[in-house]
């Protein structure tokens, strides 16, 4: 089975000019959504609602992530190996009646 992503990459290679890529990135960064905004009227002070266009940070982040994944592949997790270090304390206690050392741990 052919690698579709590779086939698409080859087909699109040199198809997008730097200006088109710049436009694509600018369009992604400009993604907006409609939302309701509440405000107080300047004249009467009454609370009002109106639809407004807001930047959609979540969609921008998802689009950029998808573009990066398509361009460079998904990042892989690096596994680090850890060692367990055991610290053991040993106390030597000398008995006054006995000249031998006793080990306590």
Q: Is the pLDDT of residue 3 over 90?
A: no
Please indicate, yes or no, if residue 49 is contained in any of the structural domains: yes
Please indicate, yes or no, if residue 21 is contained in any of the structural domains: no
Please indicate, yes or no, if residue 39 is contained in any of the structural domains: yes
The total number of structural domains that make up the chain: 1
Mean pLDDT rounded to a whole number for the chain = 80
Please indicate, yes or no, if residue 41 is contained in any of the structural domains: yes
Per-residue tokens: 101: 């050392």
Please indicate, yes or no, if residue 19 is contained in any of the structural domains: no
Please indicate, yes or no, if residue 40 is contained in any of the structural domains: yes
Which range of residues forms the domain containing residue 37?
A: 32-71
Please indicate, yes or no, if residue 27 is contained in any of the structural domains: no
CB burial string 45-80: b at 16+ within 10 A, e below: eeeeeeeeeeebeeeeeebeeeeeeeeeeeeeeeee
| Segment 25-47 mean pLDDT | 92
Please indicate, yes or no, if residue 54 is contained in any of the structural domains: yes
Q: How far is CA 22 from CA 2, 9, 97, in A?
A: 30, 18, 88
Band the pLDDT of 102: cuts 50, 70, 90: low
């Amino acid at each position: 089975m052919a690698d579709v992503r590779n086939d698409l990459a080859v087909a699109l290679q040199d198809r997008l000019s730097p200006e088109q890529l710049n436009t694509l990135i600018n369009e992604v960064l400009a993604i907006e959504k409609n939302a309701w905004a509440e405000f107080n009227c300047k004249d009467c002070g009454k609370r009002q609602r109106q639809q407004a266009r807001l930047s959609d940070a979540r969609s921008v982040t998802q689009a950029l992530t998808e573009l990066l994944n398509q361009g460079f592949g998904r990042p892989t997790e690096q596994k680090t190996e850890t060692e367990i270090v055991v610290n053991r304390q040993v106390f030597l206690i000398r008995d006054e009646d006995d000249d031998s050392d006793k080990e306590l741990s």
